C-alpha cells in the first residue's frame, strides 16, 4: 500500500544518511518535482540546503516571480537567483537538433550550479567548504524515458537524467526517483506546499527551448512566451487548469504560411496547441478543449502576437507522439 507519510519518513532517513553534514544545492525549476524534492531535503537537513533558481532565458511569463513568492514564502528555504540567459542562448546559437539542445541545456545547468557554489557557501555561512550534493526532482517516468529504466529505449534525454559530465564533483540526491507525479503531489501536500505549486501543470526543465522547432533565439522566445501566456490565461479562465494535464504551446519557427490581416498579406509562423490529458505522462491523450476556448485562444494569439498568422491543434495521443515536440 502506498502511504505518503511512510515515503516521507523513509526518504528523510535516506537523505540524512547520504548527506551527513555536507552542504546541498537544489536547482528549482518552478515546477512541482523540484519543489517537492527541495521540501523533502529541507525537512531532512534544514539549512544545509540552498536552492538555486536559474533563469536560462527560456522560462514562461511570471515563472521567476512564482518561485520567489509562492515557494520561498511557503517553505522559508534559502534561495539564490542566477541570470544565465545570455550564456544559455549563446550556447544554443545555430542548434536545431532536439537531443543536442537538451544536452547543451543540461550541461549548462550543471555548470551554472558549479559557478553558483561560492555564493551558496557564503549564504550558508560555510565558506571554505564545498557543496557536495545536488538535488534533482527526477521522477520514475523521466528515468524510464531517458533510457535508465529496465530495457527502455532512449526516447529523449530529460535534462536532469542520465548522470553528470565526468568532471563534475556533485553527487546526486534524487528522492523522487521511484515515484509518479500523483504520488509526488500527495507528498508535496503532506509537506505543506500550497496548491498553486502542488497542482501546477508540468513544465520541462529545458523550458521553451524545446518548444521552438528550429533555432532558439531571443525574438522567437519572446513571441512564444506571449502566445503561451495567452493560452494559459484562457484555459485558466475557462476553469480547465486541473483537468488539463498540461498544454505545451509550440512555435514552428521555420515553417511559414500565407495569411491576410487587414488588407495585408502576411507570411508568418504557426503556433501549435498541444492540450494533454494524462495520469503519469507515460501515455497520454489529447485533451478535448472546448471549441469556444480554442476559438478565443486562436483569435487572441493571431491578434496579439505579431508574426503568428495561424493556430493549429495537435490531436495526437502518446504514443505515437510524445507530449513535447522535441
**Residue span binding ligand XMP (CB under 6 A) among the ranges 2-10, 201-209, 216-224, 259-267:** 201-209
For residue 322, the minimal CB distance to ligand XMP (Å) is 4
CA 12 to chain centre: 24
Total residues in contact with ligand XMP, by rule CB under 6 A: 15
Identify which of 58, 135, 150 has the alpha carbon closest to the alpha carbon of residue 104.
58
Which of these segments, 59-67, 112-120, 182-190, 204-212, binds ligand XMP (CB under 6 A)? Answer: 204-212
Q: How far does Cα 314 stand from its chain's mean position?
A: 20
In angstroms, what is the minimal distance from the CB of 28 to ligand XMP? 12
- Which of 202, 214, 259, 307 lies at the binding interface for ligand XMP (CB under 6 A)? 202
Per residue, the 3-state secondary structure of 133-180, as one string, reads EEECCCCHHHHHHCCCCCCCCCCCCCCCCCCCCCCCCCEEECCCCCCC
Under the binding rule (CB under 6 A), the answer on residue 205 touching ligand XMP is yes
Round to whole Å and give the CA distance between 199 and 189.
Answer: 9
- Residue number with CB closer to ligand XMP (217 or 322): 322
What are the binding residues?
29-35
42 or 200: CB nearest ligand XMP: 200
Least distance from ligand XMP to the Cβ atom of residue 41, Å: 17
Residue 307 binding ligand XMP, by CB under 6 A: no
CB of 318 to ligand XMP, least distance (A): 5
Helix or strand (DSSP H, E) at 144? helix 140-145
Distance CA(184)–CA(31), nearest Å, equals 11
DSSP 93-119: TT---HHHHHHHHHHHHHHHHHHHHHH
Indicate the SS3 state at residue 29: coil
- Considering only residues 243 through 282, tell me which ones interact with ligand XMP, judged by CB under 6 A: 246, 281
Q: Residue ranges for the binding site for ATP?
A: 29-35
Residue from 42, 101, 108, 159 binding ligand XMP (CB under 6 A): 159
Instruction: Determine if 226 is a binding residue for ligand XMP (CB under 6 A).
Output: no
Which 32-91 positions form the footprint of ligand XMP (CB under 6 A)? none
Q: Report the distance separating Cα 268 and Cα 239, nearest Å.
A: 31
Distance CA 184, CA 253 (A): 35
Contact between 136 and ligand XMP by CB under 6 A: the answer reads no
CA dist., res. 146 & res. 177, Å (int):
13
Give CA–CA dist 243/237, Å, rounded.
13
Residues found near ligand XMP in the complex (CB under 6 A): 145, 156, 158-160, 202, 204-206, 246, 281, 318, 322-324
Amino acid at each position: 500500500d502506498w502511504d505518503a507519510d511512510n515515503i516521507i519518513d523513509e526518504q528523510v532517513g535516506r537523505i540524512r544518511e547520504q548527506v551527513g553534514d555536507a552542504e546541498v544545492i537544489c536547482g528549482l525549476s518552478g515546477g512541482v518535482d523540484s519543489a517537492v524534492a527541495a521540501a523533502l531535503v529541507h525537512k531532512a537537513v534544514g539549512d544545509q540546503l540552498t536552492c538555486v533558481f536559474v533563469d536560462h532565458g527560456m522560462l514562461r511569463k511570471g515563472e521567476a516571480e512564482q518561485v520567489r513568492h509562492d515557494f520561498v514564502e511557503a517553505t522559508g528555504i534559502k534561495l539564490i537567483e542566477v541570470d544565465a540567459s545570455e550564456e544559455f542562448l549563446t550556447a544554443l546559437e545555430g542548434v536545431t537538433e532536439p537531443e543536442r539542445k537538451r544536452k547543451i541545456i543540461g550541461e549548462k545547468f550543471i555548470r551554472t550550479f558549479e559557478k553558483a557554489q561560492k555564493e551558496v557557501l557564503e549564504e550558508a555561512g560555510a565558506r571554505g567548504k564545498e557543496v557536495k550534493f545536488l538535488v534533482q526532482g527526477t521522477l520514475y517516468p523521466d528515468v524510464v524515458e531517458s533510457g535508465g529504466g529496465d530495457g527502455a529505449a532512449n526516447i529523449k534525454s530529460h535534462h536532469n537524467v542520465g548522470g553528470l559530465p565526468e568532471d563534475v564533483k556533485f553527487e546526486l540526491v534524487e528522492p523522487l526517483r521511484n515515484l509518479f507525479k500523483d504520488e509526488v503531489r500527495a507528498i508535496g501536500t503532506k509537506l505543506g506546499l500550497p496548491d498553486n505549486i502542488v497542482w501546477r501543470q508540468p513544465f520541462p526543465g529545458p523550458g521553451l527551448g524545446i518548444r521552438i522547432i528550429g533555432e532558439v533565439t531571443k525574438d522567437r522566445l519572446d513571441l512564444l512566451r506571449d502566445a503561451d501566456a495567452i493560452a494559459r490565461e484562457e484555459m485558466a479562465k475557462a476553469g480547465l487548469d486541473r483537468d488539463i494535464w498540461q498544454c505545451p504551446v509550440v512555435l514552428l519557427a521555420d515553417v511559414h504560411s500565407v495569411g491576410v490581416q487587414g488588407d495585408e498579406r502576411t507570411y508568418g509562423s504557426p503556433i501549435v496547441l498541444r492540450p494533454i490529458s494524462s495520469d503519469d505522462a507515460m501515455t497520454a491523450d489529447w485533451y478535448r478543449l472546448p471549441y469556444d476556448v480554442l476559438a478565443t485562444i486562436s483569435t487572441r494569439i493571431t491578434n496579439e502576437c505579431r508574426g503568428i498568422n495561424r493556430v493549429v491543434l495537435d490531436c495526437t495521443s502518446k504514443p505515437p507522439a510524445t507530449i513535447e515536440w522535441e
